[in-house]
Amino acid sequence: MTRAVRGLWALIAMSMRAHPWQSLLCLSETLGVVVSLAQPVALTLVVSALTAGDAKAAWIGLGLLVAQAVISRYLFMVGLTARINQLERMGFEFTEHIGVMVATLPTLSDLDDPATRDELRLLHDEQGSLGLAINTLLNGLNSLVTGGGVVLLAAAADPRMLIVALGGLPATMIVPLLSRWQVRADRQGAPHSRLVEDLSRIALSPRAAGELRVFGLGPGLLDRIRDETRLWQQPRQWLAVREGIVTTVLQIVFFTVAGSILVWIAHDTIAGTTSIAAFVLCVLIVTQLQAATGELASSAQLLVRTARAGQRLLWLRTLHADALANTGDEQPSTDPATLVLTNVGYQYPGASTPALADINVRLDPGTVVAIVGDNGAVKCPAVLGPGPR
């Protein structure tokens, strides 16, 4: 839990430091959510006034309805514009941040470990979550405000509506289970995702095209890419099926509870123990409760995923810092030296005559030399075979 909070805070802090005012303007959308909570109250006031024949109260309710619509829409537009600008900027910020850390690793050996490469692949796949950190946090805040406001309205309309609110809690309570399923699917698919990327790079490489044609490896390579893609996507497909089943069951439970409570309240309304206005407000609140619980569960899942991406970003920062610390201040030697080859020769195994003989070369510091020749012209042995003497 601590690591998840640290990862999420790292993303939010980076976003806030990069564009503080833009981040604050995003909160205007939350104010719009607060204002929009007055909609069912205004509708109830209008219905009650029309039922009682009170024209003045009806006009007041209609005015409140129009005012909340205009104000909430304006606040939504300001917050949405700020959020879009923030998302565009932070997406590039995190991409550059990750790219710089990977590119400045002191040695390539840090990338040789398959587990390290899998983590980098998962981080690459979740770079969108990094840029969406502020967006995810705002969605969670808006969902909390909406859910809290709707629950208060439900309690004010009829205390029995709190039972309907409790019927929506399981959708939020199963978020840890769904998160574990997501992590397992990501772990199972990461090696295959990395292999698909490597094989696709080979298949699209102009340098490898000739060898693939000559040795007849093209069809086998494409088959392997298809097989690895299937293994990569299979865990996610099963995850989508399980999530769909769970979501359907939870919706059936919610609407069963909500329908039972509304029938109970309707019976009391017919009996005259509950007002028509309260019944209308309860009907309006049911759909809002269902939407609020769904948004809250979705925001919780995105928040968990974003926190997981933040943990991977902290892991990369630690890897980068440790690699630099292990390297220390040691730098490769750049002292110039003269390269001297004296009486160098080379003969291919099985050949009767040497391919190179009596080669004498002196290369002073700063000299640039190009060895040019056809295939079999002994270019590689000239460079790799002899060595200085």
Instruction: Please indicate, yes or no, whether the overall pTM of this predicted structure exceeds 0.75.
Output: no
Give the pLDDT of residue 263. Answer: 92
Structural domains in the chain, sorted by start: 2-327 (1.20.1560.10), 339-384 (no CATH)
Tens digit of each residue's pLDDT, the chain (389 residues):
576 677 767 777 776 776 677 777 777 877 887 888 777 777 777 777 777 778 888 888 888 888 888 888 888 888 778 777 776 666 677 777 777 777 777 665 666 677 777 777 777 766 666 666 666 777 777 777 777 878 887 887 788 888 888 887 888 788 888 888 888 888 888 888 878 888 888 888 777 777 777 777 778 888 888 998 999 889 888 988 988 898 899 888 888 988 999 999 899 889 888 888 788 888 888 888 888 887 788 778 777 777 777 788 888 888 888 877 776 544 444 456 677 777 877 776 667 788 778 888 887 877 777 777 666 666 666 555 544 33
Q: Which two tokens stand for residue 344?
A: 């160098």
Measure CA 104 to chain center.
24
Closest to 167 measured CA to CA, from 242, 243, 249: 249
Give the pLDDT of residue 333. Answer: 47
Cβ atoms of residues 29 and 79 within 8 Å: yes
Cβ atoms of residues 348 and 385 within 8 Å: no
Strand (E) or helix (H) holding 79: helix 55-103
Closest to 217 measured CA to CA, from 244, 198, 199: 199
| Secondary structure of residue 26 in the 3-state scheme | coil
How far apart, in Å, are the Cα atoms of 237 and each of 56, 184, 244, 301, 371?
57, 12, 11, 17, 54
Quickly list DSSP for 256-284.
HHHHHHHHHHHHHHHHTSS-HHHHHHHHH
Closest to 257 measured CA to CA, from 290, 284, 299: 290
Closest to 85 measured CA to CA, from 35, 25, 11: 25
> CB count, 10 Å around CB of 168?
25
Closest to 118 measured CA to CA, from 188, 181, 200, 204: 188
Per DSSP bridges, beta strands 356-363 and 339-346 are antiparallel
Torsion, Cα of 60, 61, 67, 70 (10° steps): -150
Q: Which two tokens stand for residue 87?
A: 């998302």
Phi, psi of 342 (to 5 degrees): -125, 125
Distance CA 58, CA 41 (A): 12
Buried b / exposed e across 50-76, counting CB within 10 Å, b at 16+?
eeeeeeeebeebbebbeebeeebeebb
How far apart, in Å, are the Cα atoms of 55 and each of 64, 68, 155, 190, 192?
14, 20, 28, 65, 68
Distance CA 90, CA 19 (A): 9
Q: Which two tokens stand for residue 359?
A: 């080669």
